[in-house]
Amino acid sequence: MMKHRTLLATALLVAAASLQPLMADHDSGRTIGLTCFGCHGADGVSLGAVPSMKGMSEEHVRTAMTDFKSGKRSGTIMNRIAKGYTDDQIKALAKFVAGL
């Protein structure tokens, strides 16, 4: 059983940890981008067959999402997902992904 006292130790530990605070960026790109991690992996790094988002350029994401949305490009699930976003949201998402 952990003691409450560890709360303090935890706070100190965290202050020292090299976590990247995401607090600064509140745009819709982050909000949408975080929903992608469920399939594409934590922080955009996939552990298997689903492509990683990390490493994709802004242009690549924008083109891919736009083409999935229009049906120009066909995927298994991405056509269904891409139709959920406006062009502005896709732009914001692309910016977020490029910054991963």
Partner 1 sequence: MAKLNRRNFLKLAGGSTGLALTGCASSPTPKATKKAGPAKVVVVGGGFGGASAAKYLKKFDPSIQVTLIEYNKTFTTCPGSNWVLGGLRDIDSITHSYDALINKYGINVIHDWVSAIDVDGKNVRLASGSKVEYDRLILSPGIDFRYDTIEGYTANDVNMVPHAWKAGSQTTVLRNQIASMRDGGVFVIAPPPNPFRCPPGPYERVSLIANYFKKHKPKSKILILDAKPKFSKQKLFVKGWKDLYGYGTDKSMIEFVAAPDGKVSKVDVKSKTAYAGPLEEAVKADVLNVVPAQKAGELAHAAGLTDKSGWCPVNHHTWESKVAPFVHVIGDSAIQAPLPKSGYAANSEAKICAAAVASMLAGKDPEPHVPSWVNTCYSLVGPQYGISVAMVYNLTKEGKVGKVKGSGGLTPMDGNRQLEALYAENWLLNISNDTWADG
Q: Which helix (H) or strand (E) holds 97?
A: helix 87-98
**67-83 per-residue burial string, b: 16 or more CB within 10 A, e: under 16:** bbbeeeeeeeebbeebe
Rounded to a whole number of angstroms, the minimum distance from the CB of residue 26 to partner 1 is 5
Cβ nearer to partner 1, comparing 29 with 62:
29
Interface residues toward partner 1, by CB under 8 A: 1-2, 4, 6-7, 10-11, 13-15, 17, 19-23, 26, 28, 30-32, 34-42, 46-50, 76-77, 80-81, 83-85, 89
